[in-house]
Amino acid sequence: MKIAFALSAALSLMLVSSPAAPGEEQAAERRGRGRELGITIGTLPTGRWNAITDVAGVKVGHVTLNQGQGKLVPGQGPVRTGVTAVLPRADVWREKVPAGSFVLNGNGEMTGLEWIEESGYLETPIALTNTLNVGRVYDGLISYMLKRYPEIGVTDVTINPVVAECDDSELNDIQGRHVSDAATVRALENARSGPVEEGAVGAGTGMIAFGFKAGIGTSSRVIPPGDGGYTVGVLVNANMESREHLTIKGAPVGRELPGPAQRSGDGSIIIIVATDAPLSARQLKRLARRAPLGLARTGALSRHSSGDLILAFSTGNTIPHQPKDRASALIELADTRLNPLFQAVEEATEEAVLNALTAAPTVVGRDGRVAEGLPLEKVKEILRKYNQLR
């Protein structure tokens, strides 16, 4: 996939005015999530953690690789990358979840989509990483599954793991493919419910969005009890767009921030949507198609060479691996009751992108390149100017 913006532009546009020496920590303002800064997106309430893990049973794990400094030596470093794992439920192999996907633009990779489209379900965890590391993470996900289900490929069918990627070569030695089989297994085994670490972690370690350091972000929404009280959670790996397009709560934050103007560039985003609403694969495809509406509110564009891939799954039904009965019944929410879920996924996607930016600190990558953290105090000043923050 294309990097988030052109190299020639990136070198001049991402440098902070007084960066520390490569490898040294930048003196930075305290980072926080959007809501900790007083920025509220949408009208629906969040779940307890305001994360994809608010959907019961969903877990997230990261392994972050941040090693070396200075000049790039292809295959050796510096390393600014990682892997993020999303587990839909404890035993997704034997108790599969309905799933659907949407490709907004296809210059990217998410393995396993063909089987999801054919079968209508997800049967493995999801792993996120960088573009050239897909194969090794795929191997790691297989190792994880074989350890738990040794009958796979012997007395049982084989698997089609789901691995999605974004390009982190602006900051990382991507040729090194540093995320190993073991690192992938560790991310899966370490996956937990509760709060989710965001920003420059896991697969987001080397990612840049809107000209600032970004990466992993998450958010959730709970729809009213009268509409079912269901939860929708979103996790993104944000690696797209240039500074002048950044929009927060409708305010043109990117254009207001000081610094040289940027030309537009292609980039990528992976969006994972989870819900406990009992949706069919068809309805989950509809839900996945609404996530880009939330993405658009951040100012992001879908470009010729961008990779904008969305996968949605529901824990509200269980599809048995080896059903005993000839037929089984799945509950399907009435289509006329989907609107609150559409609103939820749009709001949660917008806020997940915001959290990816506000959580990520300044990062020095290969060749001393600096991905500046979003200047939070300046952002708040701009939002006050546009009456979007008290």
Of the listed 242, 268, 280, 314, which one is catalytic? 268
Q: How far apart are CA 137 and CA 158, in angstroms?
A: 17
Side chain identity at residue 16, one-letter code: V
Tell me if residue 308 is catalytic.
yes
Whole-angstrom distance, CA of residue 384 vs CA of residue 380: 6
The reported pLDDT for the residue numbered 238 is 98
Query: Is residue 306 among the annotated active site residues?
Result: yes
Active site residue: 169, 219, 242, 306, which one? 306
| Residue ranges, the chain, pLDDT below 70 | 1-29, 260-265
Give the count of beta carbons closer than 10 Å to the beta carbon of residue 276. 20
- Of the candidates 10, 18, 33, the one whose C-alpha atom is nearest the C-alpha of residue 219 is 33
Write the burial class of residue 281 (CB in 10 Å: 0-12 exposed, 13-18 middle, 19+ buried): buried
For the domain covering 7-13+29-320+334-385, report its CATH number: 3.60.70.12
Output the pLDDT for position 260.
62
pLDDT at position 4 is 40
Considering the candidates 54, 242, 308, 314, report the single residue annotated as catalytic.
308
The structural domains of the chain, with segments of one domain joined by +, span 7-13+29-320+334-385
Judge whether 259 and 385 are in contact, CB under 8 Å. no
- Summarised one tens digit per residue, pLDDT across range 67-104 is 999 999 999 999 999 999 999 999 999 999 999 999 99
